[in-house]
Amino acid sequence: MSQSFDARQLRETTAAESAPTPAQFRQAMLRHLQYTVGKSPQQASLFDWRMALSHTVRDYAVDPWFSATRRTWDEDRKRVYYLSMEFLIGRLLEDQAINLGLRDVMVQVLAEFGLSFDEVAEGEPDAALGNGGLGRLAACYLESMATMGCPAYGYGLRYEHGLFRQHFENGRQIETPENWLATDNPWDFTRPEAAYPVGFGGELHDHDGASIWSPRSKVLASAHDTPVVGYGGQWANTLRLWAAMPSADLFNLDRFNAGDFAAASEPEALARSLSRVLYPNDTTEGGKELRLSQEYFLTSASVQDILRRYLAAHDDLLKLPEFVAIQMNDTHPAIAGPELIRLLVDEHAVDFDTAVETATSVLGYTNHTLLPEALERWSVGLMRKVLPRHLQIIETLDTQFIALQGQAPNPVRLISNDQVSMGDLAFTTSHKVNGVSALHTELVSQELFPVHNELHPGRIVNITNGVTPRRWLKLANPSLAALITDTIGAGWESDLERLRELEPYAEDPAFRDAFGRSKRQAKEHFTGWLAAEHGIELPAEALYDAQVKRLHEYKRQLLNILWTIAHWQRIKRDPQANWVPRVKIFGGKAAPSYHMAKLIIQLINDVAEVVNNDPETRHLLRVVYPPNYGVSMAEKLIPAADLSEQISTAGMEASGTGNMKFALNGALTIGTLDGANVEIREHVGAENFFLFGLTTEQVGERRAQQGHSRAALEASQTLRDVLQAIAEGTFSPEDHHRYDGLLETMWNSDWFLVASDFEDYDRAQGEVADCYSDPEKWQRMAILNIARMGYFSSDRSIREYMSQIWDVESAL
Ligand code: KOT
């Protein structure tokens, strides 16, 4: 049973028994070095060693992978399919080694060859097949599904180029292509036999009352599999990524012979672009034909694969919901409803209403945002051009949905203003719709889908996000992880609620000291990397205050940097006062076309330039912004942080997951009542959390007040001084007008309420400083944060998905 499955048992039977001895591991690695990589130890480069090592570790993943797959077939188990346009998995070597119980032996054997694991691992490219929170959540969930023994597949796209690389020139963000596949990807099993044609465009013909779709082009989706091993190595699932392949069969010979050469090679051109690049927008999407085509490509290949697997063991398609659960990660794969209905009706002769019912029972939809610009809408014209049959199905669903609303004068529609609303479509074709934090789910019910919610009470459920403690504590923070294991024993890795056993140690001075030393080690690890990689030197004795996440106005990096300026001005006015030294750490990318976000990056870098070079203050305040923030940087940075900035405008951050990673690593949070902050604060205790800012309700009221931004500025001399310094060109001496637009927004609109929340944020930052000057108090609070974060394990989230949405049981 999924509910009664006790993950602690995992520990006892981990790979320990089957774990190789160092001698065996060494031999396996030398064999791969010679026969897979083709090198001798004398000639091998770090790259060669990493390849040999990765192949060695990968070999140990194959047995659990096979046995899990075989058992799922033999026991005819229900499978979960997690469809996502993004999987931000990061590096895999250490993660897989930990889950297979191989990390220690691996480190030891490398040392025998005179190699440091960190050095070897640092060369592994980050698989950055995602933008931010949504993609990283998918990766945490894959790992937790494997740990929980939930039979599952992740389906995504094998982008040739993941999220762009970021660097700064004169403080400005410059994007360059990312190239994670430039060298061999040792985790990849190519499956040329699993390939499906995906059609685009073309016409509909009527045949005896049935619609026949003749696509204009077809592209082959070909599968690449990566095993995802759960902690303890007892179960492994598959991440299946689709690559688009031009296919000789699909080349349009008729068109070619008729002289229409461009049309004949259309499928090839489309194939080349479909899995070429990840769209770099977090939470917003333009109405791009290629994006819609990518979404359909992922969805169609996956749904075809799911039906093929189901039909290999069953013949009654109406029983699909008993064996298949498909989860849509936001609306990006929301064409899954119409696609499944299409395949059932057009290819398997199921009647329309039964097909709708079957599809709806199979599908679930997770909503990750309320931002209006992020709610996908596709123009009817584009839909008709790319997916004419699907549009026809959506039109029928729309008619049915309107009928369901009876006499409502203004019924909600799936199609309105010549646009298909993918959120409304996803809702109507899902049996469960979930938000990602308690507050967010409340807003999804009340603000986004009130009409749906009344028509389908109970369909909306909350599943608060979680993060995997394997990557975000055991891997990222070995010194803290070791301290925890020494104190409460092993097993917390797959039973995170056990961290509660740390609570009494908050009162133990020896434990607090040990915690302080582990934090110090994490800081040294981070600063060592920062110095080596970016030539940035940081003092170790300072409060590390971090905000790392995508750049977005609602996340309010602007509030943070404006306060930093205020803090600098204060220090300058009274340099001898008893200031707590701070390092302000920023990290994150801006969408290439998001002008305001890029301007905020430039402001942060401009402020860093001035502040870091001020001899009067540089021992008390630093601002650092290492470029190209991603999973691997997060693994080093988060454990080093003392303070976690979670300062979004209330009601705008659906959940956040960085907030969880920081608190789990013993950072205290300064935050608003937004997203999962609300629940984090409830769990760790209000007295261990620095709260500030307007509530969601007050945000609504404040926005309705004419001139609120000017009023807030007039009430804050501190903030006016900051804006004046910016306006005078203090941070942009070569261009006094650089921030005119930003300042204008601050005075005249300020949609994100930076000015309204500034004074309260300043107060909370004052409390932070006071508290940090009392190390005993700070450490007590940090330890209680760690001890009370068990709830935010992605294992708990997955357990809830399994019981509340997927109705699937653990195989363990
Ligand atoms: C992107 C495009 C369209 C719709 C939603 C998104 C989106 C939302 N991308 N990331 N999110 C974040 O998802 C995380 C995981 O649920 C949340 O923690 C975070 O608050 C969202 O902003």
pLDDT of 584-612, one tens digit each? 999 999 999 999 999 999 999 999 999 99
pLDDT of 9 reads 47
Tokens coding 11: 């520990």
Q: Of 39, 67, 65, whose CA–CA distance to 53 is shortest?
A: 39
Query: Over 80: is that where the pLDDT of 11 sits?
Result: no
Of the residues 129, 131, 368, 646, which should be mutated to test ligand 1's pocket, given the most ligand atoms within 8 Å of the CB? 368
Catalytic residue status for 288: no
Q: From the alpha carbon of 282, which atom of ligand 1 is closest?
A: 1
Q: Which of 141, 278, 283 to mutate to test the pocket of ligand 1 (most atoms within 8 A of CB)?
A: 283
Closest to 422 in 3D by CA, of 361, 379, 363, 371: 379
Model confidence band, residue 251 (pLDDT cutoffs 50, 70, 90): low
- Between these two residues, 21 and 266, which has the higher pLDDT value? 21
Task: Tell the residue nearest (CA) to atom 3 of ligand 1.
Answer: 283
Q: Is 471 a catalytic residue?
A: no
Report the residue count for the chain. Answer: 812
pLDDT at 250 over 70: no
Q: Where are the alpha helices (DSSP H) in 657-738?
A: 658-664, 677-684, 696-704, 708-714, 717-727
Alpha carbon of 662 to ligand 1 centroid (Å)? 18
* pLDDT score of 16: 46
Q: How high is the pLDDT of residue 283?
A: 62
What the block records as the tokens of 8 is 């602690």
657 is catalytic: yes
- CA of residue 493 to ligand 1 center, whole Å: 26
Closest C-alpha residue for ligand 1 atom 1: 283
Residue closest by Cα to atom 6 of ligand 1: 283
Of 550, 567, 589, 780, which residue is the catalytic one?
Answer: 550
Averaged pLDDT for residues 297-320: 98
Q: Catalytic: which of 55, 91, 368, 432? A: 368
- Tell which CATH architecture fits domain 8-465+796-806: 3-Layer(aba) Sandwich (3.40)
How far away, in angstroms, is 370 Cα from ligand 1 center? 9
Q: For 751, which DSSP code?
A: T
User: Residue 432 forms beta bridges with which residues?
Assistant: 364
Q: Which CATH architecture has domain 469-792?
A: 3-Layer(aba) Sandwich (3.40)
Lowest pLDDT segment from 70-79, 281-290, 330-339, 540-549: 281-290
Q: Could you report how far apart the first and last alpha carbons of the chain are, in Å? A: 8
Residue nearest to atom 13 of ligand 1 (CA): 134
What pLDDT score was predicted for residue 4?
Answer: 45
ipTM: 0.98
Q: Which residue is listed with tokens 């596709």? A: 378
Sign of CA dihedral 136, 185, 476, 591: negative
654 alpha carbon – ligand 1 mean position (Å) = 7
Task: Quote the DSSP letter at residue 367.
Answer: -
Q: Does 550 qualify as catalytic in the annotation?
A: yes
pLDDT score, position 256: 76
The Cα–Cα gap between 665 and 584 comes to 18
Residue 663 has pLDDT above 90, yes or no: yes
The structural domains of the chain, with segments of one domain joined by +, span 8-465+796-806, 469-792
Pick the closest to residue 293 from 417, 424, 385, 425 (CA basis).
385
675, 440 contact by CB (below 8 A): yes
Q: Which two tokens stand for residue 330?
A: 């936001």
756-to-31, 511, 698 alpha-carbon distances in Å: 64, 41, 10
User: Is residue 286 pLDDT above 80, yes or no?
Assistant: no
* Residue owning tokens 């905000």: 547
Phi, psi torsion values for 365, nearest 5 degrees: -130, 125
- Measure 283 CA to ligand 1 centroid, in angstroms: 6
Which of 82, 83, 369, when mutated, tests ligand 1's pocket best, judged by the most ligand atoms within 8 Å of its CB? 369
- Phi and psi for 597 in degrees, rounded to 5? -65, -40
* Helix count and strand count (H, E) for the chain: 34, 24
Taking alpha carbons only, the member of 718, 441, 712, 732 closest to residue 606 is 732
Looking at every residue in the chain, the average pLDDT score rounds to 95
Digit-coded pLDDT (tens) for 26-80: 999 999 999 999 999 999 999 999 999 999 999 999 999 999 999 999 999 999 9
Percent residues over pLDDT 70 in the chain: 97
78 catalytic, yes or no?
A: no
Active site residue 161: no
The whole-number pLDDT of residue 142 equals: 98
The single residue of 661, 681, 683, 780 carrying the catalytic annotation is: 661
Structure-token match 């190390």, residue found? 775
Q: Whose CA is nearest to atom 11 of ligand 1?
A: 134
Distance (Å) from CA 172 to ligand 1 centroid: 25
- Per-residue model confidence (pLDDT) at position 10: 46
Q: Give per-residue pLDDT as tens, 205-231.
A: 999 888 999 999 999 999 999 999 999
Three-state SS for 286?
Answer: coil
Instruction: Give the Cα separation of 796 and 497 in Å (integer).
Output: 10
Distance (angstroms) between ligand 1 centre and the Cα of 705 equals: 29
- Is a pLDDT exceeding 80 seen at residue 669? yes
Given CA atoms 631, 635, 640, 644 in this order, what sign does their dihedral have?
A: positive
pLDDT surpassing 90 at residue 378: yes
Please tell me if the domain spanning 8-465+796-806 has the same topology as the one spanning 469-792.
yes
pLDDT value at residue 287:
63
Exposed e or buried b per residue across 210-227, where buried means at least 16 C-beta atoms within 10 angstroms of its C-beta = eeebebbbbbbbbbbbbb
**Atom of ligand 1 minimally distant from the CA of 86:** 9
| Catalytic residue selected from 366, 428, 468, 657 | 657
Which position among 58, 549, 589, 799 bears the catalytic label? 549
Which tokens go with 783?
């330890």
Contacts 24+ apart (CB under 8 A), 68-75: 68/149, 68/151, 68/235, 68/236, 68/237, 68/811, 69/238, 71/811, 72/151, 72/811, 73/313, 75/811
Prediction pTM value: 0.96
Q: Which residues line ligand 1 (CB under 6 A)?
A: 132-134, 137, 282-283, 330, 368-369, 374, 436, 465, 653-657, 675
